[in-house]
C-alpha cells in the first residue's frame, strides 16, 4: 500500500515534470480523456438541459440539440461524472461515440504533413493550399485567374480563383472553410476545383465550361491555421472579443437578420455573432468582394461539416424563400445523385426546419441582399461517428460523391431555367 502510494507520488511528479516541458515546448491544446456522446433529445426538458450546457466550461456542443433529434456533446474528463449524473435524472440516453477524443485527432491525418506536396490523401496547411492555387494559375493561365477576395484579422489573405472557359458565363460562387475545424470543407472544395479543370467526364466538363467559378477554399485562414498549430477543434475567427476570449462565429456575423436567433452574446461562446454585423475582418472584406461580383453570379454554395444535410435559406425563420419548391426539387435531385456512389444519405430542407435557428450566415446574406436564386449550404460527412475529425481517408470518397451531387444540382437548375443564360431566369 505504502509503496504503491510512493510510486504514485513519483509518477505524479514525473507527470507534472513532463507536463511542464510539454507546455513550454508545445502549446497545443490536447483532448486526452475527452469523451463524445450522442444524445437523443426527446422533449423540451432535455432540450433545455443540453442548451444550458452550451457555454459551460468543459461541455462542448459539436452538434447543438434539436427536439426529436440528437445532440453531440464533447465532455472534458473533469465533467464526465457530473454529466452522467445530470442525464441520469432525465430520459436522455447518451451513446458513447469517442472515449478519448485525442486519439481520434492523432489518427485523423497521418499524411497531412508531407512537405510541399498537395493532394487529397491528407489535410493540408494554408500555405500548401495557397501554393497549389498559385500553381493552377501558372499552369492554366488562360482559364484560372488569382483573386485576393479579402483578408483576416491576423493579416492573412483570403485567396481564391476565378475559373472561366468563356467570357460572360453565369457565375457560381463556392465558399469553403468558414468554420476553422471543418477540415473536410477546404479539402472537398479544392478537389472540386481540380476536377473542374482536369476531369474528362463529359458531364463534369459540360458543367465546368458552362459557368464561371469563383472558388475560395478557406474563408477563415486564421482559424484554419490555429486548428493546425494549436487547437484542432477551434471554430471561430481569432480576434480578441472580451472576457479573455477570442473570435466570433464567422457564419453568424453577416448583416442579414443578424443575431436574431441561434447565437449567444457571450464572447466566449462558439456561436458568438460578434458585437455587430461584419465586426470580423474576414466577413466584412469578403462581403465587399461578393458585392463587387454580385451581378455576375446566380448561385452561391457554401461547404460545412458535419451532418449530411443540404440546406436551403433561411436560418432566422422558417418562412420559405420565394423559389423554395424549385430549390427543394433541385436539392432532392442533388442528394439522390450523391447517394448513388456509396449510399451516403443526406436530407434537404430549410435550415430552421431540418436543424435549428441560426441567423447571420453567409448564404442567407447573399440570398437576402442580392436575391441570388440558387443558394445552398452543404453539411458534409459524417453524422457524428467522427464528426469534425473525419479521417483523411474519407476525403476522396466525400469529394467524389459531393461532385456527383453538384453536377446533378446544376443540371436540374438549368432545366428549371436557372443559370442557363444571362437572360430572364438568371435572376428572379
Ligand atoms: C416528437 O416526436 C413525437 C413522436 O413522434 C411527436 O409526438 C412530437 O410531436 C414531436 N415533437 C416535436 C416538437 O416535433
Ligand atoms: C444512474 O442511475 C442508475 C440507476 O438508477 C444507477 O445504477 C447508476 O449508478 C447511476 N449512474 C450515475 C453515473 O449516477
Ligand atoms: C425526391 O426524390 C425522390 C427519389 O427520386 C422522389 O421519390 C420524390 O418524389 C422527390 N421529391 C420531390 C419533391 O421532388
Ligand atoms: Zn460550419
pLDDT in tens, 7-16: 444 444 444 4
Considering every ligand atom shown, identify the ligand nearest to the alpha carbon of residue 387 and give its number. Answer: 4
Ligand nearest to the CA of 42: 1
Q: Cα torsion at 281, 427, 175, 131 (round to 10°)?
A: -90
Residue extents of the structural domains in the chain: 31-108, 126-427
Answer whether 147's CB lies under 8 Å from 159's CB: yes
4: Cβ–Cβ under 8 A, 6 or more apart, which residues?
none
Candidates 270, 184, 283; CA nearest to 235 is: 270
From 332, 353, 412, 413, the mutation candidate for ligand 3 (largest count of ligand atoms within 8 A of CB) is: 332
User: Sorting pLDDT into bands at 50, 70 and 90, what band is 2?
Assistant: very low
Nearest Cα neighbor of 92 from 140, 129, 37 is 37
pLDDT at 55: 66
Listed range (61-65, 167-171, 226-230, 419-423) with the worst mean pLDDT: 419-423
3-state secondary structure of 70: strand
Question: What is the reported pTM?
Answer: 0.91
State the architecture of 126-427 in CATH terms.
3-Layer(aba) Sandwich (3.40)
In this prediction, residue 12 carries a pLDDT of 43
Nearest CA to ligand 2 atom 4: 88
Query: From the CA of 103, how far away is ligand 2's center (Å)?
Result: 28
- Atom 2 of ligand 2 has which residue's CA nearest to it? 88
**Does ligand 2 lie within 6 Å of residue 202's CB atom?**
no
Q: Please give the DSSP secondary-structure letter assigned to residue 319.
A: P
pLDDT at 74: 97
State the catalytic residue, choosing from 195, 280, 379, 401.
379
Report d(CA 55, CA 272) in Å as an integer: 10
Q: Is the CATH number 3.30.460.40 carried by domain 31-108?
A: no
pLDDT of residue 421: 57
- 304-345, pLDDT tens digit by residue? 999 999 999 999 998 999 999 999 999 999 999 999 999 999
167 is known as an active-site residue: no
Distances (CA, A) of 16 to 9, 29, 85: 10, 16, 30
Which of 391, 354, 392, 303 lies closest to 98 in space, CA to CA?
391
Of 308 and 27, more confident = 308
Within 218-323, residue ranges assigned H as helices are 221-229, 281-293
Only one residue has cell 462565429, namely 249
**CA 408 to centroid of ligand 3, rounded, Å:** 14
117, 136 contact by CB (below 8 A):
no
Nearest ligand (C-alpha, residue 326): 3
Indicate if the pLDDT at residue 82 is higher than 50: yes
Ion ligand 4: residues, CB within 5 A, are 179, 304
- The Cα 92–Cα 53 span in angstroms is 14
Does ligand 2 come within 6 angstroms of the Cβ of 89?
no
pLDDT band at 26 (very low <50, low <70, confident <90, very high): low
C-alpha distances in angstroms, 160 versus 3, 137, 151, 393, 401?
Answer: 63, 11, 11, 25, 23
Radius of gyration of the chain (CA): 22
Q: Mean pLDDT lowest for which of 116-125, 225-234, 285-294, 378-387? A: 116-125
Reply yes or no on whether the pLDDT at 395 is more than 60. Answer: yes
**127-162 pLDDT, tens per residue?**
999 999 999 999 999 999 999 999 999 999 999 999
Q: Map residue 386 onto helix, strand or coil.
A: coil
Q: Of 208, 237, 217, 204, which is closest to residue 134 (Cα–Cα)?
A: 217
Say what the pLDDT of residue 5 is.
43
Q: Whose CA is nearest to atom 4 of ligand 1?
A: 68
332 Rama class: left (phi>0) / alpha (psi -120 to 50) / beta? alpha
What is the distance between the alpha carbons of residues 297 and 168, in angstroms, rounded to a whole number? 10
Amino acid at each position: 500500500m505504502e509503496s504503491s502510494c510512493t510510486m504514485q507520488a513519483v509518477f505524479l511528479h514525473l507527470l507534472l515534470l513532463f507536463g511542464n516541458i510539454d507546455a513550454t515546448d508545445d502549446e497545443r491544446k490536447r483532448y486526452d480523456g475527452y469523451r463524445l456522446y450522442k444524445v437523443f433529445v426527446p422533449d423540451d426538458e432535455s432540450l433545455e438541459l443540453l442548451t444550458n450546457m452550451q457555454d459551460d466550461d468543459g461541455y462542448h456542443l459539436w452538434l447543438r440539440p434539436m427536439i426529436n433529434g440528437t445532440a453531440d456533446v464533447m465532455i472534458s474528463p473533469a465533467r464526465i461524472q457530473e454529466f452522467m449524473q445530470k442525464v441520469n435524472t432525465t430520459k436522455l440516453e447518451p451513446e458513447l461515440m469517442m472515449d478519448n477524443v485525442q486519439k481520434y485527432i492523432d489518427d485523423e491525418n497521418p499524411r497531412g504533413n508531407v512537405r510541399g506536396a498537395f493532394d487529397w490523401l491528407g489535410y493540408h496547411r494554408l500555405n500548401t493550399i495557397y501554393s497549389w492555387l498559385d500553381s493552377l494559375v501558372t499552369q492554366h493561365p488562360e482559364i484560372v485567374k488569382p483573386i485576393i477576395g479579402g483578408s483576416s484579422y491576423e493579416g492573412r489573405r483570403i485567396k481564391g480563383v476565378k475559373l472561366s472557359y468563356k467570357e460572360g458565363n453565369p457565375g457560381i460562387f463556392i465558399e469553403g472553410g468558414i468554420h476553422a475545424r471543418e477540415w473536410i470543407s477546404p479539402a472537398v472544395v479544392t478537389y472540386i476545383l481540380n476536377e473542374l479543370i482536369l476531369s474528362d467526364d463529359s458531364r463534369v466538363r459540360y458543367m465546368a465550361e458552362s459557368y464561371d467559378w469563383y472558388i475560395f477554399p478557406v474563408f477563415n485562414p486564421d482559424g484554419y491555421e490555429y486548428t493546425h498549430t494549436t487547437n484542432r477543434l477551434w471554430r471561430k475567427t481569432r480576434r480578441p472579443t472580451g472576457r479573455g476570449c477570442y473570435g466570433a462565429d464567422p457564419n453568424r456575423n453577416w448583416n442579414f437578420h443578424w443575431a436574431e436567433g441561434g447565437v449567444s452574446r457571450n464572447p466566449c461562446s462558439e456561436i458568438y455573432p460578434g458585437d455587430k454585423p461584419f465586426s470580423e475582418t474576414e466577413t466584412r472584406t469578403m462581403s465587399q468582394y461578393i458585392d463587387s461580383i454580385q451581378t455576375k453570379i446566380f448561385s452561391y454554395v457554401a461547404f460545412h461539416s458535419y451532418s449530411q444535410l443540404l440546406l436551403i435559406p433561411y436560418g432566422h425563420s422558417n418562412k420559405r424563400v420565394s423559389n423554395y419548391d424549385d430549390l427543394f426539387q433541385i436539392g432532392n435531385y442533388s442528394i439522390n445523385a450523391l447517394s448513388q456512389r456509396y449510399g451516403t444519405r443526406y436530407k434537404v430542407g430549410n435550415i430552421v426546419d431540418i436543424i435549428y435557428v441560426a441567423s447571420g450566415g453567409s448564404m442567407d446574406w447573399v440570398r437576402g441582399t442580392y436575391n441570388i436564386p440558387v443558394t445552398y449550404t452543404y453539411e458534409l460527412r459524417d453524422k457524428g461517428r467522427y464528426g469534425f475529425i473525419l479521417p483523411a481517408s474519407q476525403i476522396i470518397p466525400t469529394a467524389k460523391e459531393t461532385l456527383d451531387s453538384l453536377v446533378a444540382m446544376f443540371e436540374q437548375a438549368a432545366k428549371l431555367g436557372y443559370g442557363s443564360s444571362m437572360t430572364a431566369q438568371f435572376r428572379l
